[in-house]
A and B are shown apart, each in its own frame.
Chain A
């Protein structure tokens, strides 16, 4: 019996009787991060990083039963050592390490290796078997350093300001939105937010995250007030009456999918910034090698191609294809411009 199994309810540790990011109702769930494709409603009992909990409560309800687990804090459940380790994806995001009788598995959840200046930076964890996402597991996905991307974003904002335009950048409301407001140059102007983004900001601030000051756009916010400033909104707000009422605007999308010209062009926005909270191709390889794992199980994304390549470079790998339906909600949100109703 493997230490972690793929079951119809999710990744399962039989010895500890606990699931990782399950999608069906189970008794005990340990949650890698608060994105809705990982943190689902209906579990009897949750375990999660303290930074994930307020967002989970916002999205799943205040009455959920949830136990905080710090990074590197070791839990012992029926002889199994379980701990969370920074995944660098969004604030509170974690990899789950499970160790029993000398055998160690790590489930990565979503992760990126670049320090984004917002989330606790990714830490590689030694293990025998590594379950990795590979949303961007193709050699065409190679992110620029975020400093360079934010320089481009700042220049675009400045140019818009000089042309009397209001800048709107879309990003999903948990993680990417805060990453942007932490990293853009606030000397240029003020940052305004859509309700979905501001709700998340608020709980993260309460949880102790020191976020840049933002102003919520309300019915009373005037066009004049916004002019030349930056609005951060969820992808679903693009080309809606809500966004159109701030015209003249210039709009941009921050998403890893913007790496490809075809995607940029299809999404009728003025600018596309290839800014992702997932590991790029070199990042995936770097992370996998750092675990020292002999076995790698790939989930989410280009699993078959990525596994085939890992095998060719001498790392045992299989794709886990049956269970993960579709792609991550966060990337799906970016792609389809759909955001669950948080506001």
Chain B
């Protein structure tokens, strides 16, 4: 645990990815197999199940720090991170510990079936034996949400350094549904056994957002273009008569999409498809909100199955006939994909059509009608590109449509976290319905530091009422709110739900009377909602 806490601190103390990878590789070098495996698990977001409620942790921390609970909550609000707030509030003691990372994780796991008193005794004893840095890491193991400033890609690089095994090979071995409780370092990392896990997906290749002009990409003829569907990225694997479905978050979601079970019969064994999982009716994709209703459930009832019929819109073929195709140019993979879909027609499998174009100008036009086609924009992929690992610049680009915007009045403000705990940084926005303002969106990001200070001062001077950390303010300031999509929602008072709302700019030029109306909002819903 000392080593792991030191690793955590070392990762925090540098911005250089080189040094981070180095620090992690060194940690691997000096740790035992089980600790290594847990470190990998944590860095790939596979933390143990939570066995102690955070409300209890807060109470105990206040008790230990000899402060009232309300004061602990204030401190927590300022820190913005529960594990850290607890680590700081609990007093230092002279006791020490020298147990391994796995020891403490095993302890945390074992608490799951224990009584509250036993949990408390164990946690307090742990806090007393640790210094603040160790305590922080220990709390993180309980509460989750580790951010170590190290992507899975860099973790894999460090592991490659440590084991001498190639990075992409490791990335593959690390995928899938494993836990340090069910496998060993030797089995998972060091053993090469392709057959061992039929479910194993390939690491996803991710696109970068196009930042410059599309014409900067060079010859249009070197590129494929496709619609960018607004579903979830998925990999569907057919091996040995079984179907496995993976989401981009490397989550095995086979059970949630029983529609794809028919692929086992229809497609040849050893087929891996990369595509968009999305509900489609009569060839038209449905709203993202509907898909979310499906994702939210572990088991899917008959009604949902008929109402929200899931399809895979395939855009890449990663494995055919058991062979890894990722090293082939896209042009060849595409030809094989088209052939596969043609020769093995199966309900629920669609081909992502290529957008034909000879000049970039044409593509610009196609992109502009994305929203009407329920798309987020376009994907542009180099014909000669291999299928790579992770987010790589150069061959795959996403070219999203411009966001929807509406001018709205700020009516509530809420305090921020951490160092911003004394500033109002989170806002609720409203549009006019007659003389009334109807709240419809919350947003925080998007302002410059200077603007933020100015808005904060406004809030403090123009408070009408306070409710805990929230204040209602005089409706005066107008902001342009941008968002990616809009849907009808019965859960929201306004009747609409926005996707990714954020502040686009402060409309200092607009008096509040000129903000948009509820009618405008509903118009957007009618035009772009689904």
Where the two chains meet, the residues of A that have a C-beta atom closer than 8 Å to any C-beta of B are: 138-142, 257, 259-266, 268, 270-271, 302, 305, 309, 312, 335
Contact = CB atoms under 8 A, between A and B. Distances in A.
Nearest to A265: B12
Contacts of A309: 67-68, 71
Instruction: Provide the main secondary structure of the chain A interface.
Output: helix
Given A139-B89, A140-B85, A270-B14, A262 B67 contact: no
Contacts of A271: 13
Given A140-B79, A302-B74, A305-B71, 7 more contacts: A140-B88, A259-B88, A260-B78, A262-B80, A262-B419, A270-B13, A309-B68
Given A139-B89, A140-B88, A305-B74, A260 B15 contact: no
B12 A312 contact: no
Given A140-B89, A262-B79, A257 B71 contact: no
A140 B12 contact: no
A260 B419 contact: yes
Nearest to A259: B88
Given A139-B75, A268-B15, A305-B74, A262 B65 contact: no
B426 interface: no
Given A265-B12, A270-B15, A260 B84 contact: yes
B249 interface: no
Contacts of B91: 142
A261 B12 contact: yes
Contact of A140 (B14, B68, B78): B78
23 contacts: A138-B74, A139-B67, A140-B85, A140-B89, A142-B91, A257-B419, A260-B78, A260-B84, A260-B419, A262-B81, A262-B417, A262-B418, A262-B419, A263-B418, A264-B12, A265-B12, A265-B149, A270-B15, A305-B71, A305-B74, A309-B67, A309-B68, A335-B419
| Contact count band on B | 20 to 34
A139 B69 CA distance: 12
Contacts, number: 56
Contacts of A268: 15
Nearest to B70: A308
Nearest to B74: A305
Nearest to A304: B74
Contact of A142 (B12, B72, B81, B88): B88
A260 B79 contact: yes
A255 B20 CA distance: 24
Contacts of A312: 68
Interface in B395-417: 417
Nearest to B61: A139
B215 to A, nearest CB: 35
A312 B71 CA distance: 11
A225 B419 CA distance: 38
Contacts of A257: 419
Contacts of B72: 139
Contacts of A141: 88
Contact of B65 (A139, A261, A305): A139
A343 to B, nearest CB: 25
B17 to A, nearest CB: 14
